Structure 1
Amino acid sequence: MTLFRQIYSLLLGLFLVVVVSLAYVQFTETQSFLTKQMESDLNNTSHSLGIMLVPDLEAGDIVGAETLINVIFEGGYYQQVKLTWLIDGKQQVWENSVKIEGVPQWFIDLGFFDTISRESTITSGWLQLAKLEITAHPGFGYNELWRTMTNSIIAISILFLIAIMLARFGLTWILKPLHDIAEHATEVSKRKFGPDLPLPKTTELKSVVSAFNSMSHQLKKIFNSLDEEVTELRKKNLVDQVSGLPNRQYMMARIHSWLSEPNNGALMMAKFDWLEEVHSKYGYQVRDETIRLLAQRLQQQLDEIAPSVIARIAAYEFAFLITSAEQEQSSKYLHTLIRTVNQEMSKAGCKPNEQFAIGIAHRTDSMTVSELLSQTDNALQQAIAENNVFHWFESDEKQLYSKEQWREQLSAAITEKRFQFKWQSVYLNNQTTVLQRELYCQLTIGETEIHAGQFMPYVELLSLGSLLDRCLIESIVDNGIIEKNDEPIAINLTFHSLRDLEFHKWLNQFLRNSHFSQRIVFDIPEAGIYSDPDACQALCAIIRDNGAHFGIDHFGRQFGSMAYLQTLRPSYVKLDQSFAYYDENEHSSELCRALVNVAKGLDIQVIVTGIEEQAQLARFEPLKTEAYMGYISPPEKVLN
């Protein structure tokens, strides 16, 4: 029971006790008064009637005596009058039934009034003439007592209703600060720190609210300090201090995770020997400033062409990972890179197209990290040997389909729902309980089995993401995949779905009409949250309001604040695969621990991804994460 109801019940209980006590006192006093009044009236009537009957009794006038008694008896105040003549023993009786109009019989049957009778002997001198016995009628008492009781009940009821309303209004006003504290506490438990609560006028509540505001400030500082710790550790371990770009460690881990995802793109390595000329001419300070300005210009110019990661991996070497692009777009990216570098060389007093070389290798199907790095380095060395600005590593692998052929094939597959499914189990750390199963799709065209890594880049490129997500969600319901196991099914949403308002409306309607919404979870990529936070917040609200759940995929990959966790409040986060590839001898464990602490501080489950062997999993045990996934437990085919 709430405090409001407890106080409310106590006040109403005390009010009822007081009112009932007063009503009882009034009732008993009224009853006693009416009894005494009837006794007094009976005494007066008995005395006066006895005097009035003396002449008729002396004369033996029976008719006169009866007439006199009838006059008094017909007034209705007496239940019985009995006259006994002592001369001959003759007895006459006048009697009224105990029937009272306007008073319920059950009330009369309660017997609040005892029978009141008076007996007297009528004499003439020393001669006894008759005996007169009068019994009072209780009708007057019951009428008055019933009227008093009903009036009291009406008055008490009115006062009770008024007291209820006043008590409710008063308690609501008095306890409003406590209600505000409860609501604020709920928000704080969700790590949503709003403005301070206003201090109430009540002294006791003022101290409570003041203490709560102080506690809220401290919790907010703790979370902000964790967020700042993550930022500082990223700068310390993953960022090159001169250029402000990611360093070699981050780039290597990112390449590992990129190759494990369904994507296409290219890796470029550039060697800028002209920076050594700047160093020799102007010193290391000018060189460092030139590197910083070059990094800024590269980020400004290249981000507009294609999504990429730019890193400084050595003193005069840079790496450019284009995470999603066809060869034509990669070529445009390359030429923009060359043009930007030449512009900065001219500003530094160096000759354009000299003293720098770029090697490029495009990602192919089933490529490993060592193969990609080897091809890129070979292309760079070839460019240096031939004194060319760039060299593109020529791969023997032919493109499966052209862009338009992919559009045709994918559109048909989405319309006809021809996708097959696999799922990968996410295990709790006890290694026996499955937390959820992440769903993967593949496609068969003709006799060729095509996995997601081959066609997903074209899904994003052709803006078919929301159509594909809609198709997959409908397919797992139509094929009964959700019913095949008790664990939730995790579905990866594409970037296009995050921004598509039509998809938002469709998903809202789908989840509202689905009986399995609580068994569907959605993975939202962290990059999508940074690119369009408002759209992601709207989509997350739709998912949460309909009873489904969502989590953040690739958690910790982006360089930015973790404050979005407070706003979105995901059920879980999946740590980026790159953390599984960091060398344990380096300081990356500090960053990983800080990221886990941020999530766990918000009561969010942490799932480690990219686990391939038991030794990797053992490295995460000190961090107290909840679950893991990876090719230590490879995907399994879902039988439709």
Structure 2
Amino acid sequence: MTLYRQLLLWMLVVLFSLTGAVFAIQFNTTKSYLIEQQSTELNNVVSSVGFALSPYLEAKDLISAESVINATFDSGYYSQVKLVLLDSKKEIIRQYPQLVQSVPNWFQSLVHIDAITQTRTLTSGWLQLADLTVTSSPASAYIQLWKATIQLLFGFITCLLLGAIVLSLVLNKVLKPLKQIQKSAQEMARNHFTPSLPTPHTRELADLVTAFNSMNIQLQQHFEQQAQEADTLRIRAYQDPVSGLANRSYLMTKLSSWLSSKPSGGIILLKSDAIEDSYQQSGYESGDQLVLKLAERLKDLSADDITIARLNQSEFMLIAPNVSEDDLLDTGRIMLDMTSELNSDPLGIAPLQAAVGIVMCSDTLTITALLAHADNALNKARQQVKEPIALLETNDNKTIPAMGKQHWKALVDEAIANNLIHFTFQNAINTNNDVIHKEMFAYIEKGQQRFNAGQFLSAIEKLNEGTKFDCYIIETIFNQLTKQNKTVPVAINITQSSINDTGFIRWLNSKLQSCPQMKQHILFELPEICFIKNIDNTSLLCEIIRQNGFQFGIDNYGHNFSSTGYLNKLRPSYVKLDFAYTSQLDDQVKMDVLESITRSANNLSVLTIASRVETIEQKEKLTLLKVQGFQGYVTAQLVNGK
């Protein structure tokens, strides 16, 4: 029971006790008054009747005496009148019915009012004539006492109700600061920090609120410092300090992961002579300014599956998985245009001081060979006077068809129309090997060919056609899970183009409202890039998901080297760490970065999940670093082995 209810209840008990005591006193006073009034009236009537009867009794006129008795006692205030003549022993007796109207029987049995009897001897001088005995009727007293009781009850009940309302309002106002502290404390327990509470006028509560606000600010600052420390460590380990892009170490990790998983797509190597000349001729400050200017433009190309890094002083590399040659060439030309902005050439006639080398990847390439091919492509590009861009094809056995964006879009549309989209699921487990959820991966199966989502998603994303695909996936998964009784929650990935589509957000809101029973079975996974580039639309979508009782997570957490402060604002259920943070567990610096990142997320009650966990040993190391969830090849082994 809350403090408010306890105080209100005890105050009402005291108020009820006081009003009950006053009611009892008033009731007894009224009862005593009615009994006394009955006795007084009886005494008066006996005296008056005695004077009226004496002349008739002295004259032996019994008829007149009887008429006087009938006239005097012709009412309901008396139950019996008895006149006994002393000389002849004759009696005149009158009995009157006892009618107690509108008074409940239980009230008469509970409250006892006894009849009063008075006897008086009638005389004439010294001569005794008769004995007059009159017995009163309590009916009138009962009626008056019942009416008084009803009035008292109504008055006291009204006072109790008004008192309860007033006490409720007063207590609610007095305890309002305490309720605010309670709500803030509940939010603080979930690591949600609210603005400082206003200081109340009550001295005790004012001290309490002041202390609470101070503690709230200190905890908030502590968590913010931890998040800043995590960002600082992450920047030192993986981020180039000048450009803000990934550094060479992070790039090598990404290349290693990419080349180990049947790679498709390619890399783009950009060399800017303008930056190199600026460093040599004008110094580091001038060169850094050009690097920063180019990096800001290159960040426009960032996406959830694209990595952009600074290799050295004047070279930049972009990794673009699952893209075609034409797309790589288009991206390379865009990078050249961005580099041309560094030239101070208003007429646009000076030669471009940059070159782009493009390498298509293959299964047999190593990191060393890939970088060597990139240098060769760059040298080849320098020989192209008109457009310094060159593509080097190293893959003779292409794993994906040379299809353009429009061809991929047509394939996806055909797959949606003919139900050619199928699903595979991968479990995410906790430290006890219990399944947290399973992530859904879509693929298209047409004839003998199978196309994974990674092959066509980037193409339809560039065409902003992800909404139709996402709607189909969500509708299909909802229908499938509706037919199942108990299922592990399924995580559905949402594309960036859908998040930026207000029509999709409205559609999803209607879908979630119509299926509240699915809130325990469906999760939504959003790419981190959306929280960097499209925070407003992403925040709106997250709020809609949360309002409907569903949950969401963040994929590729930490990939884009932006501040992770949005975690505290949006509070996802989980984050899936970018593979670069969980792959090199023998490097102490990178282990410190990972532990700092997971600690910051855990402090906000956000579950951290590592992807591509291949061995039990890797899982155990990640567990020591406070990672709470795991997804990859090892999950199938551990779940099936339980």
Gaps of 5+ in 2: none
Partner residue in 1 for 2:110:
110
The aligned counterpart of 1:289 is 285
Q: Quote the residue 1:360 is aligned against.
A: 358
Aligned residue among 283, 288, 312 for 2:310: 312
Q: For the Cα contact (< 8 Å) 1:593–1:623, is it kept in 2?
A: yes
Q: Report if the CA contact (8 A) 1:306-1:324 is conserved.
A: no
CA contact 2:329–2:391 (8 Å) conserved in 1? no
Question: What is the one-letter code of the residue matched to 1:302?
Answer: L
What residue identity is the alignment partner of 1:491? Answer: I
Deviation at 1:462, TM superposition (A): 3.1
Q: 1:544 aligns to what?
A: 546
Query: Aligned partners of 1:30 and 1:114: how far apart in 2?
Result: 15
Counterpart residue type for residue 500 of structure 1: D
Contact 2:464 2:497 in 1 (8 A): yes
Deviations 1:425-477 (A, max 9, x none): 1111112x111111111111122122222222223233221111111122223
**Partner of residue 21, structure 2:** 21
Counterpart residue number, 2:326: 328
SS at match of 2:520: helix
How far off is 1:124 after superposition?
4.6
Is 1:380 the counterpart of 2:375? The answer is: yes
Q: Given the superposition, is the C-alpha separation of residues 549 and 18 from structure 1 closer, same or farther in structure 2, using an over 3 Å criterion?
A: same
1:376–1:393 CA contact under 8 A, matched in 2: no
Q: Counterpart amino acid of 2:218?
A: Q
The Cα shift of 1:617 comes to 1.3
Closer, same or farther in 2 for the Cα pair 1:111/1:316, shift >3 Å? closer
Could you say if the C-alpha distance between residues 301 and 262 of structure 1 is closer, same or farther in structure 2, counting changes exceeding 3 Å? farther
Q: Against the structure 1 CA distance between its residues 80 and 232, is the aligned structure 2 distance closer, same or farther, given a 3 Å change threshold? A: same
Which is further off, 123-132 or 573-582? 123-132
* Alignment match of 1:430 (pick from 420, 427, 432): 432
Matched pairs, number: 624
Amino acid aligned to 2:373:
N
Task: Give the TM-score normalised by the residue count of structure 2.
Answer: 0.88
Contact in 2 for aligned 1:269/1:360 (Cα 8 Å): yes
**Equivalent in the alignment of 1:534:** 536
Could you tell me how far apart the structure 1 residues matched to 2:201 and 2:322 are? 60
Distance in 2, matches of 1:521 and 1:230, equals 27
Residue matched to 1:146: 146
What amino acid sits opposite 1:207 in the alignment? Answer: D
Deviations 1:261-320 (A, max 9, x none): 9996531345678877766x65xxx54334423322322443445645432334565433
**Structure 1 residues 100, 345: closer, same or farther in 2, change over 3 A?**
closer
Tell me what 1:408 maps to: 410
Q: Which residue is 1:209 aligned to? A: 209
In 2, Cα distance between the equivalents of 1:80 and 1:484?
84
Which stretch of the first structure deviates more once superposed, 179-188 or 62-71?
Answer: 179-188
2:319 alignment partner AA: L
Bigger shift: residues 17-26 or 305-314? 305-314
Partner SS, residue 620 of structure 1:
helix
- Is the partner of 1:37 in helix, strand or coil? helix
Q: What is residue 563 of structure 1 aligned with on the other side?
A: 565
Instruction: Output the CA distance in 2 between the equivalents of 1:90 and 1:255.
Output: 135
Worse-superposed segment, 548-557 or 470-479: 470-479
| Equivalent residue, structure 2, for 1:236 | 236
Deviation of 1:202 after TM superposition, in Å, equals: 0.8
* Aligned-residue CA RMSD (Å): 3.1
Partner of 2:298: 302
- 1:634 offset after TM fit, Å? 5.4
Q: Which residue of 1 aligns with 2:12?
A: 12
Deviation at 1:138, TM superposition (A): 1.5
Residue identity in the other structure for 1:289: E
For 2:80 and 2:396, how far apart are their aligned partners in 1? 129
Distance 1:110 1:244, change over 3 A: closer
Aligned residue in 1 for 2:195:
195
Q: Provide Cα deviations, 1:540-597, integer angstroms capped at 9, x if missing partner.
A: 1222222221111112222222221222221111122222222522411122111111
Identity %: 32
Structure 1 residue 504, shift from structure 2 partner: 1.4
1:253, CA displacement in angstroms? Answer: 2.8
- Residue by residue, what CA displacement relative to the aligned partner does 1:135-185 show, whole Å, maximum 9, x if unpaired? 112233223322322222222233223223322222222122122223333
Partner of 1:633, secondary structure, is helix
The whole-number CA distance in structure 1 between the counterparts of 2:377 and 2:522 is 51
User: What residue number does 1:450 align with?
Assistant: 451
SS of structure 2 residue aligned to 1:554:
strand
Decide which moves more: 205-214 or 241-250: 241-250
For residue 630 of structure 1, the aligned residue among 622, 629, 632 is 632
Kept after mapping to 2: 8 A contact 1:266/1:360: yes
Could you list the runs of 5+ residues in structure 1 that have no partner in the other structure? Answer: none
The alignment partner of 2:633 has SS state of coil
Partner of residue 487, structure 2: 486
Query: In structure 2, what is the equivalent of residue 467 of structure 1?
Result: 468
| CA–CA distance in structure 1, aligned partners of residues 481 and 514 of structure 2 | 16
Q: Using the alignment, how far apart are the partners of 1:602 and 1:552 within structure 2?
A: 14
Map 1:231-270 → 2, pairs under 5 A: 231-256=231-256, 265-269=265-269
Shift of 1:193: 3.0
- Aligned residue for 2:442, secondary structure, equals strand
Residues 499-514 of structure 1: pairs in structure 2 closer than 5 A: 499-514=500-515
The worse-fitting range, judged by mean Cα deviation, of 499-508 and 290-299 is 290-299
Please list the CA deviations of residues 8-61 of structure 1 after superposition, one character each: whole Å capped at 9, or x if unmatched.
Answer: 222222211111111110110111122122112222332343343233223322
- Tell me which amino acid in the other structure corresponds to 1:587: V
Find the aligned partners of 1:110 and 1:79 in 2 and give their Cα distance: 21
Q: Which residue of 2 aligns with 1:34?
A: 34
Provide the C-alpha distance between the structure 2 equivalents of 1:485 and 1:156, rounded to a whole number of angstroms: 58
1:55 is paired with a residue whose SS is helix
SS at match of 2:131: strand
Instruction: Supply the AA of the counterpart residue of 2:468.
Output: L
Residue equivalent to 1:575: 577
Within 2, Cα distance between the matches of 1:138 and 1:166?
Answer: 41
Name the amino acid aligned to 1:610: R
Cα deviations across residues 238-259 of structure 1 (Å, max 9, x unaligned)? Answer: 2234554321122123345666
Alignment of 1:55-204 (within 5 A): 55-124=55-124, 127-204=127-204
1:608 match = 610
Q: 1:132 & 1:262 partners in 2: Cα distance?
A: 127
CA distance in 2, matches of 1:461, 1:78: 107
- Report deviation, 1:201: 0.7
Alpha carbons of structure 1 residues 497 and 264: separation in structure 2 relative to 1, 3 Å: farther
* Per-residue deviation, 1:89: 2.9
Deviation at 1:229, TM superposition (A): 0.5
Would the aligned equivalents of 1:84 and 1:131 in 2 still touch at CA under 8 Å?
yes
TM-score (norm 1): 0.89
Between 38-47 and 571-580, the greater mean CA deviation after superposition? 38-47
Distance 1:562 1:262 in 2: 31
User: In structure 1, how many angstroms separate the alpha carbons of the residues matched to 2:380 and 2:26?
Assistant: 116
